[in-house]
Amino acid sequence: MVDASRADALRGVPETMLWTLHHRAAEARRPDTVLPDPRAVRLVEAVDFPFVERFGHPHTVVAQAVALRAGCFDAVVRDFLRACPEGTVVSLGEGLETAFWRVDNGTVDWLTVDLPEPLALRYALLPHGPRQRTHAGDARDLSWTREVDRSNGVLVLAQGLLMYFRPPEVRELIAGCAEAFPGGSLVFDAVPRSVVGVGRAHPRRVSGRYRLPPMPWRMDAADRPALRTAHPGVAGVADLPLPPGRGLLGGPLRPDRIPVLRGKRPSVTLLRFAERPAVVG
């Protein structure tokens, strides 16, 4: 078991990695889980951290929604690796996400970009092989783009991250990826503007004691076309539906199936970047 001091040191945005893991593991324990993730279950057991005391008991709908979001990102990675088997996946703010072990095709090059404290906990808990590299730093500092092998295709993941950035920082990140990875892609999720209690000054309460950090950047699904203005290299913008779930998250009442809610729901977006024109001369 890993010393709790490393987990206890996480506060603010980095602590959300433990909240997310808590819910993903709860969903993975179900016999009818939407996301088999035994490594997440083992991680919760390996960290000497008071998950329930800090975050409360996982709500089944929230846990399933967290897992469905991860499953949506997994599907994007699998599609990418079918087209680019030796491509590079860059996971920004990865925390204790275990996607690598769910989608590994045996040839992918994986770069994790995260702050030093989350990376230290990740290293203590998870094995890292020769195809898994890390960059200790803030994702907003685009120096990590210089460490990416572009020769076999690039897919950048920003799961549960961009909502904690300021709006100009989101645009700068999109523009930086478009500039650095022509022909590549970026996939990210967003919370809608209509969700209350997630603004810059008022963190959202999600359990008796715990509040998610403020979320300065929010985007309704209907706002998605405006992402093209972040950089001329943004060539495609696509809405990615979540996989089908159970109960309310699997039937006709899913928010993405109700017209009045479709534009005001948590969303996952895929941006495709244009290839850089060949220089003629």
Element housing 151 (H / E):
none
For residue 43, what pLDDT is reported? 94
> Residue 8 above 70 pLDDT?
no
Phi, psi of 246 (to 5 degrees): -100, 160
Q: What percentage of the chain exceeds 90 in pLDDT?
A: 69
Report the C-alpha gap between 197 and 39 in whole angstroms. 32
22 occurs within a structural domain: no
Region 114-141 average pLDDT: 94
User: Which residue has tokens 């919370």?
Assistant: 191
154 occurs within a structural domain: yes
Report the C-alpha gap between 85 and 182 in whole angstroms. 18
7 occurs within a structural domain: no
Report the C-alpha gap between 155 and 84 in whole angstroms. 10
- Residue 177 belongs to a domain with what CATH number? 3.40.50.150
For residue 249, what pLDDT is reported? 77
| Burial per residue of 106-142, b for 16 or more beta-carbon CB atoms within 10 angstroms, e otherwise | eebbbbbbbbebbbebbeebbeeeebbbbbeebbeeb
Most confident of 15-19, 45-49, 128-132, 252-256: 128-132
> Residue 70 above 50 pLDDT?
yes
Phi, psi of 59 (to 5 degrees): -75, 135
229 occurs within a structural domain: yes
39-48, 73-82, 161-170: which has the minimum mean pLDDT? Answer: 39-48
Report the C-alpha gap between 132 and 112 in whole angstroms. 8
118 occurs within a structural domain: yes
> Residue 281 above 50 pLDDT?
no
* Average pLDDT across the chain, whole number: 87
13-22, 55-64, 258-267: which has the minimum mean pLDDT? Answer: 258-267
Taking only the tens place, the pLDDT of each residue in 200-230 is: 444 455 554 677 788 999 999 889 999 999 9
Burial of 260 (0-12, 13-18, 19+ CB in 10 A): exposed
Beta-carbon contacts of 218 under 8 Å, excluding residues fewer than 6 positions away, are 163, 190, 191, 192, 193, 195, 198
Look at the chain and report how many structural domains it folds into. 1
| Burial per residue of 62-85, b for 16 or more beta-carbon CB atoms within 10 angstroms, e otherwise | ebbbbbbbbbbbbbbbeebbeebe
16 occurs within a structural domain: no
Q: pLDDT-based confidence at 6, cuts 50/70/90? A: low
- The three-point CA angle 89-231-261 to 5° equals 80
Q: Which two tokens stand for residue 104?
A: 């590994």
32 occurs within a structural domain: no
Give the structural domain span for 182. Answer: 73-273
For residue 262, what pLDDT is reported? 53
Most confident of 56-65, 241-250, 262-271: 56-65
User: Which residue has tokens 């920082």?
Assistant: 169
> Residue 197 above 90 pLDDT?
no
12 occurs within a structural domain: no
For residue 173, what pLDDT is reported? 98
46-55, 175-184, 259-268: which has the minimum mean pLDDT? Answer: 259-268
For residue 14, what pLDDT is reported? 67
